[in-house]
Each structure stands twice: as structure tokens, then as C-alpha cells.
């Protein structure tokens, strides 16, 4: 039986792995994908992580993974299906049929991209519809691209694409952007980014590839069709927590109800990173969560 199983290998999971290894806990990190790093991998440039300004998300992810391995962390590729509480602790069930027993669990599976849910989105996925500008932006060099959203990710995507594309539409359903002020200033200063406020994409059009979008002005109801070769969707994230539904630790949105110490309302269940209820979701806060949660895990194990 493990002391703890860390589910997820993004910045929170990798940070927790380092601290668990240093604490000499019998632990394993379960990662669904073959590559560690979570959403961080898809970030073109990380300019707000202290001391590592300008690193790409991929570079940072590899550095985090190497650090965890050097500390002695153990990794296993596994897709977690369910977690069941037992008298001794927990059983983690995987899609492959494995049953891993552990005294505690750390939920660090992060969040995934939210979809628009409009006609053409699913049909044209990977044919011009994308959720990662840094992954797919180069395919649309010198063409017109569209970004949907108004937060930090959407603004960063628009700025990144502006360096590649002829023109970038930034479509947001509100009249003001939600991203940080520095990014907003950069967006408004970039000549080939056109901000379309109070607009919503109602349909993504094209035969076999994205060719246009139908947008509606939510103030007037007026519709227009805009030519575009790509639609990059950045309208928020959804927590990856379906596997933990039976534990009784999730809020209405699916996030784990937990404080900065990572403790949930169920003894032995902890959360770190974007998966937990929190105001700020950044690489830096996820790494901090990973450090704090293992201290809580140690306290829990000592009290058994």
C-alpha cells in the first residue's frame, strides 16, 4: 500500500512528487498522457514564472519532470477511472483494470479546455478549430485567424497569432476584456488584432476546413459572416475530476473543495493546482500547491 498516490503530472503533481520524494514517502505519480506538464506544455512562452522568464512551457515541463525524477519520484502511465474509499484508505481503479491501494490521494489532474458548443466546432476540429494557438498557429501563417475569449489565455493567443497571421479577430461576448491590463494594452496596441466586443460565435463554417464564422452582436442581434482560416477557442477550463465524483469532495462546477493546505472535507483526500477551488490558477500557484499539499499529507499519515 502506497503512502500517497498523486494523480496528474502537471506543475502541481510534479511539485508534489518532488516534495513526496524528499519526505521519503512511498508514492507514485499516475499520469494519463505519456508526457508530463499538463496544459503548461502548450504555452509558447512563460514570462511570469520567477527566475525562468522567457522559457517555453515545454522547456519548463521537461525541467520539472527531470527535477522530480532526480529527486527519486516514481511515475506510472495510467488513466484513473474511479477512487473508492476503504477502511484502510483508498483504492484507485484504472481503466486498464488495475487496483492500487493507498493511504492517501492527491488529486492534481488540472483542467481541460471548455468548448463553445456551436455547429461546426466538432466537425472541423483539427481542421482549423483548435484549443492551442501555440500548437497550431504556425499552420495559419499569413492568413486570417480568430480567437474566441477575453481572458489571459485568449489575449496571449491573439498576441502570439498576430506575429504569424495577416489578421486576428478577437471575439468576446462582453464589451470589456477580462485579461490582465498589461496584456490588454498589448492587444490594443497591435495593429493587426481587431477586437470584436459583445459578439458571440454562432457557427463555424467550411467544407472540410474552417472558412468562416457566423457571429452575432448580442446587443442588437445583428449577424455577420467573417472570413477566417482558423478559430482558436479560449473560453475557459473545466476541471478533470469525474473519477472523483463518488468521494463527495466536489463543488457544483466539479472543482475539489480544498483550501491552500490542500485538505478536502474527506480525510486522506487532497487537491493541488487548477483542480481545486481557488482564485488564481497559474503555474506558480500550482507549484506552491504541490509543496503545501505534501506537508498536509505527512500530517495526515502521522496521525493514522
Catalytic (active-site) positions = 132, 135-136
Cα distances from 245 to residues 30, 91, 107, 239, 273, in angstroms, run: 18, 14, 12, 12, 18
pLDDT in tens, 180-205: 999 999 999 999 999 999 999 999 99
Q: How far, in Å, CA of 56 to CA of 203, rounded?
A: 33
Helix (H) or strand (E) holding 111: strand 111-113
Can you give the residue ranges of every domain in the chain?
2-113+237-302, 129-233
Mean of pLDDT values over 8-22 = 97
Q: Which CATH class is domain 2-113+237-302?
A: alpha beta
- What dotted CATH number matches 129-233? 3.50.50.60
Q: Which residues contact 142 (CB under 8 A, 6 or more apart)?
A: 164, 165, 166
Predicted TM-score of the model (pTM)? 0.78
pLDDT in tens, 43-90: 777 878 899 888 888 999 999 999 999 999 999 999 999 999 999 999
For the record, the C-alpha cell of 267 comes out as 480525510
Assign 40 a pLDDT band (cuts: 50, 70, 90). confident
pLDDT in tens, 218-249: 999 999 999 999 999 999 889 999 999 999 99
Cα distances from 183 to residues 11, 118, 159, 177, 187, in angstroms, run: 23, 27, 8, 10, 6
Cα distances from 199 to residues 72, 213, 239, in angstroms, run: 50, 11, 26
DSSP H helical ranges for the chain: 11-22, 57-71, 133-136, 152-162, 181-189, 283-302
Q: How far, in Å, CA of 228 to CA of 146, rounded?
A: 7
Neighbours of 265 (CB within 10 A): 11
Assign 253 a pLDDT band (cuts: 50, 70, 90). very high
Amino acid at each position: 500500500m502506497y503512502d500517497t498516490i498523486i494523480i496528474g503530472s502537471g506543475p502541481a503533481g510534479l511539485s508534489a512528487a518532488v516534495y513526496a520524494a524528499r519526505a521519503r514517502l512511498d508514492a507514485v505519480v499516475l499520469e494519463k498522457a505519456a508526457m508530463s506538464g499538463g496544459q503548461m506544455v502548450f504555452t509558447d512562452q512563460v514570462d511570469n514564472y520567477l527566475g525562468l522568464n522567457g522559457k517555453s512551457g515545454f522547456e519548463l515541463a521537461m525541467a520539472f519532470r527531470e527535477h522530480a525524477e532526480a529527486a527519486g519520484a516514481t511515475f506510472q502511465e495510467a488513466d484513473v477511472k474511479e477512487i473508492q474509499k476503504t477502511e484502510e484508505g483508498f483504492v484507485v481503479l484504472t481503466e486498464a483494470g488495475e487496483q492500487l491501494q493507498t493511504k492517501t490521494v492527491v488529486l492534481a489532474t488540472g483542467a481541460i479546455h471548455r468548448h463553445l458548443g456551436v455547429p461546426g466546432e466538432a466537425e472541423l476540429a483539427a481542421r482549423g478549430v483548435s484549443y492551442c494557438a501555440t500548437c497550431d498557429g504556425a499552420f495559419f501563417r499569413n492568413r486570417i485567424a480568430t480567437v474566441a475569449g477575453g481572458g489571459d489565455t485568449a489575449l496571449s493567443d491573439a498576441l502570439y497569432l498576430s506575429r504569424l497571421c495577416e489578421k486576428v479577430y478577437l471575439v468576446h461576448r462582453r464589451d470589456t476584456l477580462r485579461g490582465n491590463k498589461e496584456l490588454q494594452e498589448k492587444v490594443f496596441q497591435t495593429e493587426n488584432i481587431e477586437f470584436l466586443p459583445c459578439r458571440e460565435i454562432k457557427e463555424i463554417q467550411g467544407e472540410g476546413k474552417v472558412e468562416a464564422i457566423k457571429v452575432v452582436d448580442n446587443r442588437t442581434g445583428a449577424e455577420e459572416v467573417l472570413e477566417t482560416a482558423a478559430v482558436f477557442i479560449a473560453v475557459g477550463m473545466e476541471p478533470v475530476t469525474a473519477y472523483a465524483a463518488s468521494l463527495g469532495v466536489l463543488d457544483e462546477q466539479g472543482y475539489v473543495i480544498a483550501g491552500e493546505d490542500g485538505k478536502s472535507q474527506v480525510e486522506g483526500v487532497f487537491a493541488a493546482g487548477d483542480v481545486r477551488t481557488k482564485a488564481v490558477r497559474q503555474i506558480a500557484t500550482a507549484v506552491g500547491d504541490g509543496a503545501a499539499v505534501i506537508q498536509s499529507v505527512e500530517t495526515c499519515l502521522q496521525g493514522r
